[in-house]
């Protein structure tokens, strides 16, 4: 996976600027920052570590996170261990979630039925959004 962005200013405008340690180096045309492909890779990794741990804390299972992010559940388990993440509650409910684009998200919020008695949080997920809904007070 490749994201073509300057890691410093997020500009997509950059030029090749030599090879350093066998890696293509780029120079951002907007801010002048030098970066290599491997640095971008690290940024992307960090992004997915954060997302995976966030979803874990929201109560999703390793398998669900694997389906959403396309990261193996073993990798996610290792991150949970590595960062010593513990869920702060014994969940006797399980959140439901939807993956929506910006337009669908708008439509979802237009319907008060979707929000009453539950509440939702929305988190960015690549070019879409994930909406997590709890129904924790419903027996």
Please report, as ranges, the residues that interact with Zn ion according to CB under 5 A.
6, 8-9, 11, 28, 30-31, 33
Q: Name which of 17 and 75 has its Cβ closer to Zn ion.
A: 17
Name the minimum Å distance from CB 31 to Zn ion.
3
What does the alpha-carbon distance between residue 94 and residue 77 come to, in Å, rounded to a whole number? 19
- Containing 77, the helix (H) or strand (E) segment is helix 73-82
Name the minimum Å distance from CB 10 to Zn ion.
7
Q: Name which of 6 and 132 has its Cβ closer to Zn ion.
A: 6
Name the minimum Å distance from CB 11 to Zn ion.
4
Name the minimum Å distance from CB 70 to Zn ion.
28
Buried b / exposed e over 27-58, threshold 16 CB at 10 Å, is ebeeeebebbeeebeeeeeeebbebbbbbbeb
Angle between helices 73-82 and 37-57 (to 10 degrees): 80
Q: Name which of 33 and 129 has its Cβ closer to Zn ion.
A: 33
Q: Name which of 30 and 72 has its Cβ closer to Zn ion.
A: 30
């Amino acid at each position: 996976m490749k994201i073509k962005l300057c890691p410093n200013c997020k500009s997509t405008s950059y030029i090749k600027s030599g090879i350093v340690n066998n890696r293509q180096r780029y120079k951002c045309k907007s801010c002048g920052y030098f970066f290599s492909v491997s640095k971008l890779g690290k940024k992307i990794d960090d992004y997915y570590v954060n997302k995976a741990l966030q979803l874990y804390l929201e109560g999703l299972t390793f398998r669900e996170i694997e389906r959403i992010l396309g990261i193996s559940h073993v990798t996610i388990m290792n991150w949970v261990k590595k960062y010593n993440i513990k869920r702060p509650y014994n969940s006797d409910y399980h959140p439901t979630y939807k993956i929506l684009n910006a337009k669908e998200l708008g439509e979802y919020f237009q319907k008060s039925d979707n929000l009453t008695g539950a509440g939702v949080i929305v988190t960015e997920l690549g070019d879409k959004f994930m909406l997590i809904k709890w129904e924790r007070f419903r027996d």
